[in-house]
Amino acid sequence: MFLAAPYAAARQRGDERNTFRSLYTPEYLAFKKRIMAEFAGVGPGRFSEFVRHLKIEKSGDKEQKVLAFTFDACGGKHSGYNRKLIDYLRKERIPATLFVTGLWIEKNKETFAELAKDPLFEIENHGLMHRLCSTEGRTMYGVPATRDMGDVIDEMELGARKILELTGRRPIFFRSAAAYTDELSMKIAERLGMEVVSYDILPGDATHYSAKTMSANILKGARHGAIVIMHFNHPGWPELEAMQLAVPELRKKGYIFMKLEDFSVKS
């Protein structure tokens, strides 16, 4: 039986402190303690994919329709690299925002460095350990979640620090695993200087839709300012083929593509 939002609080502590030991500095632990004290007694609020819906404001040419392609790299068992998709984005000069986890970076260090150097791509924070962000340990789809506020801070802040350490740029956007967060997590992200990003268009790569269906979903959902979510960590998934079908049609309709950091955004 499928249980909606079961609790993950009983999960054993993982080995994150070993994998990412160097990030748990005395300075960080003191910082984390301060943040936890600031939010002590605040309730978790709603837990959903759309705790806040980031909107892209119209800017520049009023006739120009803009779409944001975002691709996640989740990590753990799913630490592959869809090089053909990235090659296509480069060939077609399609700017994209890449949400990466600390776990994925660990397994793809050279690739990550190469992507981070490319101005076509914006690197953003998909969390240190790919956890759904719930301050009370709720989860969805069987994806491991944070167990408490401390885990949420680790996920957001250490994910950001990992990226900063390697790229010199601190992420400004955060998307948790499966895009699920509670309202308190969203406030914590703000306190840490990041905006929680969800999506507008879900083409369905993670539900194993065909390229044709995914392309149809993109075209159906396309409107000015929409954010598309797909992945670039599964070389066997058909995001490339979906893009090859959808992009020429979108261009015919007058769409251009932008990274999230290049939009003026409001929530």
Contact set with Zn ion (CB under 5 A): 72, 74, 177
Whichever of 174 and 255 has its CB closer to Zn ion, that residue is: 174
Closer CB to Zn ion, 94 or 177, in the complex: 177
What is the identity of the amino acid at 258?
M
Amino acid at 84: K
Indicate the residue type of 156: M
Give the Cα-Cα-Cα angle 109, 115, 71 (nearest 5 degrees): 100
Residue 42: φ, ψ to 5°: -85, 130
Distance CA 200, CA 83 (A): 25
Radius of gyration for the chain, computed over Cα atoms and rounded to the nearest angstrom: 18
Judged by CB, which is closer to Zn ion: 171, or 250?
171
CB of 98 vs Zn ion, minimal distance in Å:
12
Q: Which residue number is nearest to Zn ion in terms of Cβ?
A: 74
Shortest Cβ 197–Zn ion spacing (Å): 12
Nearer to Zn ion, 99 or 257 (CB): 99
Q: Which of 265, 246, 267 is nearest to 57 (CA)?
A: 265
Beta-carbon count within 10 A of 158 CB: 21
User: At closest approach, how far in Å is the CB of 126 from Zn ion?
Assistant: 6
End-to-end CA distance of the chain: 36
Tell me the closest approach of the beta carbon of residue 89 to Zn ion, in angstroms: 18
Single-letter amino acid code for the residue at 38: E
Sequence-distant (6+) residues with CB within 8 A of 30 are none
Q: Residue 69 CB, nearest distance to Zn ion (Å)?
A: 15
Nearer to Zn ion, 133 or 258 (CB): 133
Smallest gap from Cβ 41 to Zn ion, in A, equals: 31
Of residues 67 and 230, the one with the C-beta less far from Zn ion = 230
